[in-house]
């Protein structure tokens, strides 16, 4: 038993390290992509103005659609092969910006969208089969903390590499994206060292049924209902994803997933671009790297805290963490509204700042964005990993589908909406996403208590 537990933990940690390397490259790329491409000139013309936003919108929209083919792909080839295949598209995309062309950038964006769906669906399935009811919260937090280290290393490199730089020149872009490509390749190769996990130990029991006719898997220490030896076909898995989407609990969780997509686009692309466009801020391009570091610090702290106190999370439930994330994000949005010029999302500006372009507030908001994001995402991972253990590939695919679709929408409206309207969308979706999560979590907890009472 100890050997099996050690193997599971090895897989979770190595998986986190692999994703840390891949997303050190991709998150850093996305953080400065629009700023880097806006400075590319061909024959005296800047032909890439705001194509960074368009590229990211393509990635996330394709990502959302491709999530419906990801579960059958996992069913056919397994999560390890899926993650390696998906990671290769990240390498190709980042390499395409070393010497960019509009056509190749958009083609690489489409390929990355498909690859991202396969990668993340495989990761969610791999995490689930390497966890049990006691360790799913811990393992989710360990993976999340390692993943978010990617926000540190890449942005530290950017912060020092762009010191004294007034813009991102062609030479600097080529060196920067070459380094990022190598980093992504190393992470992809490291995935090959993942080992086949023992059979998942998460135990579930369907207790009753929801009013939409579905059953709700609830953790039980008394009886195991492992997946049947009769495996569904890839086509059955494909249609099963659609059926799962229209169950009551998944519809509610889809609101939360949608919010995580909107705020993902904001902290990973829009916020950094807004800082880069704030002309009154000293070394604004370099500060993008610093903000990325602070977002990463918030993400990592959240992941570590929720891992260390995972037993308390199990005792008190997930709602206090999600509610904390909501409050922290609302504070961050208000401070950003006061400190960032309204048109900075669209173009370089000397617009007004009620807080006089306070760098400390910029940094505090970046940290809050990261910590709040960690609150939402770690708890989404744990609720999906326990409530849908027998259908984890489809559940995680739907989560990523909705998250990425809303990220794509956010990058698309980022081309035309000023800051205040983007923040309004975030506040509204944050409220409804939090309420929806609380409803599902309370239902899961009540069903679990009924189960324990009946079986005791």
What CATH number does residue 64 fall under? 1.20.1250.20
The more confident residue out of 296 and 435 is 435
Q: How confident is the model at residue 156 (pLDDT cuts 50, 70, 90)?
A: confident
Reply yes or no on whether the pLDDT at 219 is more than 60: no
The answer as to whether 441 is a domain residue is yes
pLDDT at 188: 97
Nearest 5°: the CA angle 203, 207, 212 is: 120
pLDDT at 424: 98
Domain annotation covers residue 214:
no
Question: Minimal CA–CA distance to 346: which of 408, 413, 282?
Answer: 413
The pTM of the full predicted model, rounded to 2 decimals, is 0.76
User: Residue 117 domain-assigned?
Assistant: yes
Beta bridge partners of 101: none
Instruction: Look at residue 456 in the predicted model and tell me its pLDDT.
Output: 35
CB contact at 8 A, 408 and 65: no
Q: Is residue 375 part of a domain?
A: yes
Residue 221: inside a domain = no
Measured distance CA(47)–CA(50) in Å, rounded: 9
Q: Would residue 212 count as lying in a domain?
A: no
Q: Please count the other Cβ atoms lying within 10 Å of the Cβ belonging to residue 374.
A: 27
Choose between 128 and 312: higher pLDDT: 128
Domain count, the chain: 1
Would residue 226 count as lying in a domain?
no
* Least reliable range by pLDDT among 58-62, 210-214, 277-281, 393-397: 210-214
* Lowest mean per-residue pLDDT among 50-54, 306-310, 348-352: 306-310
> Is the pLDDT score of 251 beyond 90?
yes
Q: Are 446 and 438 in contact (CB under 8 A)?
A: no
Summarised one tens digit per residue, pLDDT across range 198-211 is: 765 544 433 333 33
Enclosing domain of residue 265: 1-197+234-454
Residue 217 domain-assigned? no
Do the Cβ atoms of 118 and 85 come closer than 8 Å?
A: yes
Q: Can you tell me the distance from the alpha carbon of 262 to that of 426, in angstroms, rounded to the nearest whole number?
A: 7
Convert the pLDDT of each residue in 285-316 to its tens digit. 778 888 988 998 998 888 788 777 766 666 67
């Amino acid at each position: 038993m100890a050997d099996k537990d050690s193997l599971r933990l090895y897989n979770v940690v190595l998986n986190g390290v692999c994703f840390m390397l891949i997303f050190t490259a991709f998150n850093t790329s996305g953080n400065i992509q629009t700023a880097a491409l806006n400075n590319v000139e061909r024959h005296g013309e800047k032909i890439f103005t705001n194509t960074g936003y368009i590229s990211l919108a393509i990635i996330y929209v394709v990502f959302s659609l491709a999530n419906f083919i990801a579960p059958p792909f996992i069913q056919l080839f397994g999560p390890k092969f899926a993650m390696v295949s998906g990671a290769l598209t990240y390498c190709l995309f980042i390499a395409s910006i070393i010497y960019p062309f509009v056509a190749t950038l958009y083609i690489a964006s489409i390929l990355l969208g498909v690859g991202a769906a396969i990668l993340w669906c495989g990761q969610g399935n791999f995490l689930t089969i390497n966890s049990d009811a006691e360790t799913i919260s811990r393992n989710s937090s360990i993976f999340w903390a390692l993943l978010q280290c990617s926000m540190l290393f890449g942005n530290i490199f950017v912060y020092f590499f762009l010191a004294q730089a007034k813009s991102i020149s062609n030479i600097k872009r080529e060196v920067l994206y070459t380094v990022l490509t190598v980093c992504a390749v190393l992470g992809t190769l490291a995935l090959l060292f993942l080992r086949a996990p023992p059979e998942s130990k998460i135990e579930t029991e369907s207790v009753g049924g929801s009013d939409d006719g579905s059953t709700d898997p609830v953790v039980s220490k008394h009886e195991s209902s492992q997946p049947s030896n009769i495996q569904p076909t890839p086509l059955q898995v494909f249609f099963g994803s659609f059926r799962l989407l229209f169950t009551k609990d998944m519809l509610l969780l889809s609101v939360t997933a949608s919010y995580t997509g909107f705020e993902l686009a904001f902290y990973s692309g829009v916020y950094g671009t807004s800082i880069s466009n704030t002309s009154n801020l000293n070394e604004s391009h370099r500060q993008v790297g610093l903000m990325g570091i602070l977002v990463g610090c918030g993400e990592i702290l959240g992941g570590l805290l929720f891992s260390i106190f995972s037993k308390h999370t199990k005792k008190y439930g997930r709602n206090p963490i999600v509610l904390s994330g909501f409050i922290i994000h609302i504070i961050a949005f208000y401070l950003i509204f006061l400190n960032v010029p309204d048109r900075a999302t669209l173009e370089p500006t000397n617009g007004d700042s009620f807080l006089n372009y306070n760098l400390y507030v910029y940094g505090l908001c970046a940290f809050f964005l990261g910590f709040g994001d960690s609150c939402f995402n770690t708890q989404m991972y744990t609720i999906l990993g326990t409530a849908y253990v027998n259908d984890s590939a489809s559940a995680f695919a739907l989560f990523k589908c909705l998250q990425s679709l809303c990220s794509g929408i956010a990058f698309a409206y980022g081309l035309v909406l000023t800051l205040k309207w983007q923040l309004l969308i975030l506040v509204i979706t944050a409220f409804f996403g939090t309420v929806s999560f609380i409803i599902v979590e309370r239902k899961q907890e009540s069903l679990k208590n009924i189960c324990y009472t009946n079986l005791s």
